[in-house]
Structure 1
Amino acid sequence: MSRVLITGGASGLGLALATAMLARGDEVLVGDLAEERPDSVPEGAAYVRLDVRSQQDWDAALADVRERWGGLDLLVNNAGVATGGRIDVEAFADWERVIDINLLGVVRGCQTFVPLLKERGSGRIVNVASLAGLVHGPAMSSYNAAKAGVVALSETLRFELAPFGIAVNVVCPSFFRTNLHTSLQGKDEEMEKTAVRLITKAGASADDIAAKVLRGIEKDRPVILTDRQGYAAYGTKRFARPLYDRAFGKGAQRLARKAAK
C-alpha cells in the first residue's frame, strides 16, 4: 500500500489513476482546482485544493500530507492543459500559461516534495508528459516545448535522485479520450479543431492508459509509453529518421495549404 498525491486528479487520467490506485489498496490524496471537493473524486480518496501554479497551494498540500500520513510514497504530477498553434498565430500569453502549468507546475511539485522523500530515503515521482514530449509535430510548439521539458526534467531527476532511493518515471501517452480539450483557449482555431477531433475520437480511454501507467511503474520504466502509436512514432524518429521527417513534413504542408485558403 502506498500513500499517493495526484495533481489534476478530479478528471481525465488523474481521476483514472486515483480510481485504479484506490482499487489496489493505496491511500490517495487528490489535488485539483475546485475549492470544494468535486463530486467526481472517488469515495475513499481525500481531496485538497491544489493549483499547480501556486506555491502557496503546494505548501498547503505538503502540510496536509505531513499531518495526514507523516510522509509520501508517490507523487504523480499529472495536472496539465492542452494548447497548440502556429508560431505566428498563438499568443505569447498562451505560451506563458502552458509553461507555467505543464512544466513549472511539475517543477514546483518536485521542489516541494523531494525534501520529504529524501527524509524517508525512498519514494517515487511520476511526471505525466505526452508523446509530444518525444516527437514534435508542426503547429504545437508551445505544447511540445513544455512536454519536452517535462521529459528532460524527469530524466535529470531520475539520475539525480537515485542515490537517495527515489525513483522517477515519465509518462508519454498519445491521444486518448479525456476532457483535456476543454482547456483549449488559444487563438489558432484551426489547430484547436484538430486537437478536439484527435482527443475525442481517440480509441483508448483514460482507464486504459491508467492501467498501462501502473504496469510501467511496476516495471520501473524510465519512459512509459502507453500505446502502439507512441511506440511507432518514437521508434521511427530514433531508427528511421527520414520516414519521420517525411511524415511530419507532409503534415506541415497540409496545414500550410489550409491556412492559405
Structure 2
Amino acid sequence: MGHRRTKDADAVVTGAGSGIGRAFARELARRGGRVVCADIDETGLKETVAAIESAGGRALAVDCDVADVAQVQRVHDTALDWLDGAPRIVVNNAGIGAGGRVVGDAPLGDWQRTLGVNLWGVIHGCHVFTPTLRAAGRGGIVNVASAAGFTAAPRMGAYNVSKAGVVSLSETLAAELAGTGVAVTVLCPTFVKTNIFDGDLIDPGAAGLARRIAGIAGFSADRVVRTTLDAHDKGRLYVVPQLDAQLLWRTKRLLPAPYTRVAGLIGRFAPDPEEGADR
C-alpha cells in the first residue's frame, strides 16, 4: 500500500490558500484525490479551489484559523461529511513567518502568535484527525516544519521553537502510530519561493534578505511538495529536500557544540536586519 498512499487519496490541507499549502492541495488533486482546503485567507482559498476545479479536480473551501481548535474540529467534521468518510491524507501546513530580533527583544505577543499558528495549529490538526485515521487503520499525516527546527539560527527564536516542536511532535506521533497503518512524514525545507516572507512578524530587513536568498537558491513549492509526497509514499519520516538543509542537518547532529558556536558568531557579526529596512 505504501507506494499508493497518495494516489486517489482524499485529503485535508491547512494553509491551502497560498504557497506550500496551495501546492499540496493542487498536487493531491492532480493525483486523483478530493481535497478539503482550509485557510484563514478566504480570497486565497477561493483561488486555490478554482485552480483545482479548472484542472478537473474536486475541492472544498473551509475558512479556518488553525490556532482555534474549535475551527479545526469544524474542518474535520466538514471533511468527513463531504468525503463521506475519513480522509486518507492530512497535511498540517498552515504557518507564518517570524524573525529579525533576538530573544528578549522580540515581543512576547510575537511568540504567542507564532506558536499559536505554527505549533498549536499542528497540534490541533494532529489531535483532531489522528483518532479518525487510527480508527480507519490507514492513511497518513504530513506535518510541515522547517530546517529552522534544527538549525536554530539567531534572531529566529519563536519560529525556530515552533518548528522544532513540529519535528518532535511528528517523531512522537510516528512512534505512537507504528503498526496502525497510518504513516507520518515531517517536511523540513530551507528556502522555498512562497509569500511567507511577507508576514508582519518578520522585520523588513530580514524579510528582504530572506526573499533575495529564496529567489536565488530557493526551491519552488511544487518541487518541494512532489518530493514530500513521493517520500510519504515510501513511508519516510523525514523529508529534508535541499542540499543546504541536509548539510546543516548532518553537521548539527555530528558536531552540535561547534555548530552552535559558529552559528552564534555568524549571527553576531552579520549586519543587523533592521538597519536599512526602509531603504
Q: CA shift at 1:80, angstroms? A: 0.1
Q: Does residue 227 in structure 1 map to residue 242 in structure 2?
A: yes
* 1:8 matched residue in structure 2: 15
Name the CA distance, whole Å, in 1 between partners of 2:253 and 2:34: 39
Q: CA shift at 1:246, angstroms? A: 5.2
* 1:40 matched residue in structure 2: 48
1:35 to 1:11, Cα distance in 2 relative to 1, 3 A: closer
Q: Does residue 100 in structure 1 map to residue 108 in structure 2?
A: no
Deviations 1:8-59 (CA, angstroms, capped at 9, x unpaired): 0121011111111111112211111134652233223221112101222112
Q: Which runs of 5+ in 1 are unaligned?
A: none
Provide the identity percentage.
Answer: 35
* 1:86 matched residue in structure 2: 102
* 1:113 matched residue in structure 2: 129
SS at match of 1:81: coil
Q: Does residue 166 in structure 1 map to residue 182 in structure 2?
A: yes
1:185 to 197, 201, 210: 201
AA matched with 2:160: N
Deviations 1:212-260 (CA, angstroms, capped at 9, x unpaired): 1112112211111111111111111122446634541331222377789
Name the CA distance, whole Å, in 2 between partners of 1:59 and 1:101: 15
Q: Which runs of 5+ in 2 are unaligned?
A: 1-7
Name the CA distance, whole Å, in 2 between partners of 1:248 and 1:58: 37
Name the CA distance, whole Å, in 2 between partners of 1:77 and 1:18: 11
Deviations 1:115-152 (CA, angstroms, capped at 9, x unpaired): 21122122211100000112111111110000000000
1:217 to 232, 240, 252: 232
Matched ranges for 1:54-69 at <5 A: 54-69=68-83
Name the CA distance, whole Å, in 2 between partners of 1:167 and 1:214: 12
Q: CA shift at 1:177, angstroms? A: 0.6
Name the CA distance, whole Å, in 2 between partners of 1:49 and 1:185: 22
Could you say what the CA RMSD is over the residues aligned between the two structures, in angstroms?
A: 2.2
Q: Which moves more between the two structures, 142-151 or 207-216?
A: 207-216
AA matched with 2:69: Q
AA matched with 2:70: Q
* 1:254 matched residue in structure 2: 269
Matched ranges for 1:148-163 at <5 A: 148-163=164-179
Alpha carbons 1:184, 1:192 under 8 Å: kept? no
Q: Does residue 196 in structure 1 map to residue 226 in structure 2?
A: no
* 2:223 matched residue in structure 1: 208
* 2:4 matched residue in structure 1: none
SS at match of 1:174: coil
AA matched with 1:103: L
Name the CA distance, whole Å, in 2 between partners of 1:168 and 1:140: 26
Query: How many pairs does the alignment contain?
Result: 260
TM-score (norm 1): 0.91
Name the CA distance, whole Å, in 1 between partners of 2:129 and 2:257: 42
Q: Which moves more between the two structures, 169-178 or 237-246?
A: 237-246
SS at match of 1:30: strand
Alpha carbons 1:139, 1:191 under 8 Å: kept? no
Q: Which moves more between the two structures, 98-107 or 235-244?
A: 235-244
